[in-house]
Amino acid sequence: MTTWLLRRLIQAVFVVLVMTVIVFIGLHVIGDPIDILISPEADQAERARAVAALGLDQPLWKQYGLFLWGGLHGDLGRSFVFNEPALQLIGGRMPATMELAVTAVLLSVVIGIPLGLYAGLNPDSLLGRTTMAGSILGFSLPTFWVGLMLIMVFAVQLGWLPSTGRGETAELFGVQWSFLTRDGLAHMALPALNLSLGNIALVLRLTRAGVRENIHMDYVRFARAKGLSPARVVLVHVMKNILIPVVTIIGLEFGSTIAFSVVTESVFAWPGMGKLIIDSINVLDRPVIVAYLMIIVFLFITINLLVDLLYTVLDPRVRLENRQ
């Protein structure tokens, strides 16, 4: 177990390192932020001063070295635009994205698993067929379009829910959260639903497939032959077997939901990390972009690690010690 964890951590460090190199070189290729940052009227001397102030006069390897050194001390650079530490800037926006992503994933579990169970147990029923057909739409419709439609229907036509911003927030652990107030929840409803649609479809189909596959297994028949109630057979025997792939997907999707909430946040003007990163890319605010990508990489690695650990809880056949 310890060896396994140690090995995984070393792997993680390498992934982060490779990622920094790719990001650094990539950003350098995209363009020179100085052209965007200083006014077109600035003269040569002003320009040189600005370049030196941002450290852009150094050779790339030196910039990279300085970045790594800073990173080791928990400093991922200062935003060119806001002149604030990038981490602090992103950290300030993180709760908004986090609560949106967590809500979206919760929705996909709460809606996807029961519907998938139902569709799996009653594949020929009307609801079973409808959910399966509907889930195809959940996959294939682009997020931004669904977002616009949600706004059209629920905000514009029906006027039930607000369409922009976080609404009223309340403080918990020194951070502002929307989910603690009624108004905040109302604001979160549409973007969270929009963000979760694809995941609902995925979890639903995975659960359904799992049920279809497992329900005909001998162990299910044997469980029934023991005289167990149908509820126990499905919710304990079948569920525990299905949960293994479902947990993997939910874990991976949680990472992507955070990373790719960009579109939803833009459509609903949700002031989260996604909106920040889009704005930063537009002005080539390098430290923010790098810091953002680092955080996402870190999140993915952490989530994957947690999913692997969860496996051992769910599937007794997985033994971490034997892993290569």
Partner 1 sequence: MNDVTLEVRNLSTHFETRAGTVRAVDDISFSVSRGRVLGLVGESGSGKSVTGFSIIGLVDPPGRIAGGQILFQGRDITQLPERELRSLRGNRIAMIFQDPMMTLNPVLRIDTQMIETVLAHAKVSHEEARTRARDALGMVGIPSPDERLKAYPHQFSGGMRQRVAIAIALLHRPDLIVADEPTTALDVTIQAQILAEVQKLARDNGTALIWITHDLSVVAGLADEIAVMYAGRIVESGTVADVLDRPLHPYTHGLIGSVPSRNRRGTKLRQIPGMTPSLLNLPGGCAFRTRCARADAACEQDPPTTEPVAGHALRCFHPQLEVVA
- Residues in contact with partner 1 by CB under 8 A are 217-219, 221-229, 232, 236-237, 240-241, 244, 314-317
C-beta closer to partner 1: residue 239 or 281: 239
Query: Residue 228 CB, nearest distance to partner 1 (Å)?
Result: 5
C-beta closer to partner 1: residue 51 or 320: 320
Residues 6+ apart with CB under 8 A from 212: 120, 123
C-beta closer to partner 1: residue 182 or 317: 317
CA gap 280, 49 in Å, rounded: 22
The separation between CA 302 and the C-alpha centre of its own chain, rounded to angstroms, equals 12
Query: Residue 248 CB, nearest distance to partner 1 (Å)?
Result: 15
Residues in the chain: 324
Query: Residue 23 CB, nearest distance to partner 1 (Å)?
Result: 40
C-beta closer to partner 1: residue 117 or 193: 117
Query: Residue 323 CB, nearest distance to partner 1 (Å)?
Result: 16
C-beta closer to partner 1: residue 15 or 244: 244
Query: Residue 19 CB, nearest distance to partner 1 (Å)?
Result: 35
**Nearest-5° Cα angle at 299, 293 to 302:** 140
Intra-chain end-to-end CA distance of the chain, in Å: 12
CA gap 196, 143 in Å, rounded: 10
Query: Residue 230 CB, nearest distance to partner 1 (Å)?
Result: 9
C-beta closer to partner 1: residue 41 or 218: 218
Q: How far, CA to CA in Å, does 160 sit from each of 9, 21, 143, 264?
A: 47, 47, 21, 19
Beta strands per DSSP E along 72-135: none
Query: Residue 73 CB, nearest distance to partner 1 (Å)?
Result: 45
Residues 6+ apart with CB under 8 A from 97: 258, 261, 265, 270, 272, 273, 274
For residue 229, the SS3 value is: coil
CA gap 222, 29 in Å, rounded: 62
Cβ–Cβ under 8 Å, residues 208 and 116: yes
| Residue 59, token pair as written in the block | 């050779």
C-beta closer to partner 1: residue 174 or 227: 227
Helix (H) or strand (E) holding 243, with range, is helix 239-259
